[in-house]
């Protein structure tokens, strides 16, 4: 073969192959999956003995990424017709026709089986069982409820809050009150996070018939007040964990301060119910969870 016959980075064959892998990766919503996997890994580290087994942490994180990717992919399979209606999602692999539903479902099955197999074999059946329940709730209960009303958010907050609890189960083989506290923090945070996102994207969601805000459209100060009723619970959840012996003083202060910051931004949304104020709350909520959970883990060290 001469040099001109060899495939290059710009050849059609390699471009097509790269695009295919990119499309399948897009089905997993990789950035979201990484955030979920990171949260689960921090839950694992809360329960794991020190010094940490880095290999076990990486193996568990990989299994979580596979299962989360499967859940995100099945979500797109079920919503493909609605994704076509929204500007934000119309270019995804399924609505654009780059991947068929059948191939996407095979992809889901492979990811799900691999992740559950890894968790059962290298960790314990409890971990795999909770992960499978989370997959079912997200894919087959939360997803169809998005067109029914805000009940979807209440249901979706359960699988959304489970990652650190799953991590705890993987490391400890059982669930303690501390594991349920980690779940409670992430469960309550889901409402602030998701409703801020829903506020910002509500115009696009309306095109697909998604009804995710806690009250009827349009979003108002009353809507922001409902969100605030959940946000304020992050303050006692962070602080009283110190009194319960779950975390030290430093991380309790970080959790409390972060929750106070979210509460203030949520109060500003009540005073000024606008897209701009909702975006500030949304970005602050994105930052809250990793900051607080990293503080909890560092406190253990």
Question: In the prediction, which pLDDT does 184 show?
Answer: 97
Quote the CA–CA distance of 299 and 167 in Å, as a whole number: 17
Write the pLDDT tens digit of every residue in 150-162: 899 999 999 999 9
Quote the CA–CA distance of 288 and 282 in Å, as a whole number: 10
The arrangement of secondary structure in 176-301, i.e. its CATH architecture, is: Up-down Bundle (1.20)
Q: Quickly count: other Cβ atoms within 10 Å of residue 9's Cβ.
A: 7
CATH 3.80.30.20 at 17-173, yes or no:
no
Give CA angle at 98 (93, 104), nearest 5°.
Answer: 65
- In the predicted structure, residue 163 carries a pLDDT above the cut 70: yes
Quote the CA–CA distance of 198 and 157 in Å, as a whole number: 14
Spell out the domain ranges in the chain.
17-173, 176-301
Write the pLDDT tens digit of every residue in 36-54: 999 999 999 999 998 999 9
* pTM of this structure: 0.91
């Amino acid at each position: 073969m001469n040099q001109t016959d060899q495939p290059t980075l710009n050849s059609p064959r390699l471009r097509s192959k790269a695009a295919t892998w990119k499309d399948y990766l897009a089905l997993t919503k990789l950035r979201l999956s990484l955030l979920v996997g990171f949260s689960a890994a921090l839950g694992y580290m809360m329960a794991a003995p020190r010094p940490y087994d880095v290999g076990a942490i990486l193996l568990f994180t990989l299994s979580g990424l596979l299962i989360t990717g499967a859940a995100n992919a099945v979500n797109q399979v079920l919503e493909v017709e609605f994704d076509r209606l929204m500007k934000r999602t119309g270019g995804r692999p399924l609505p654009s026709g780059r991947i068929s539903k059948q191939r996407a479902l095979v992809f889901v099955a492979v990811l799900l089986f691999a992740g559950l197999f890894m968790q059962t074999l290298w960790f314990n059946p409890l971990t795999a069982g909770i992960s499978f329940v989370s997959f079912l709730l997200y894919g087959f209960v939360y997803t169809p409820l998005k067109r029914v009303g805000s009940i979807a958010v209440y249901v979706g907050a359960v699988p959304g809050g489970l990652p650190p609890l799953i991590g705890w189960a993987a490391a400890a083989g059982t669930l303690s009150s501390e594991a349920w506290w980690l779940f409670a923090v992430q469960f309550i945070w889901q409402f602030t996070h998701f409703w801020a996102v829903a506020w910002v994207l509500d115009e696009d969601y309306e095109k697909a018939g998604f009804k995710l805000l806690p009250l009827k459209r349009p979003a108002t100060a009353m809507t922001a007040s409902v969100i605030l009723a959940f946000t304020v619970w992050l303050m006692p959840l962070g602080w009283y964990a110190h009194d319960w012996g779950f975390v030290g003083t430093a991380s309790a202060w970080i959790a409390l301060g972060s929750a106070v910051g979210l509460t203030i931004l949520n109060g500003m949304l009540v005073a000024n119910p606008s897209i701009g104020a909702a975006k500030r709350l949304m970005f602050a909520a994105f930052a809250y969870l990793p900051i607080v959970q990293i503080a909890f883990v560092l406190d253990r060290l």
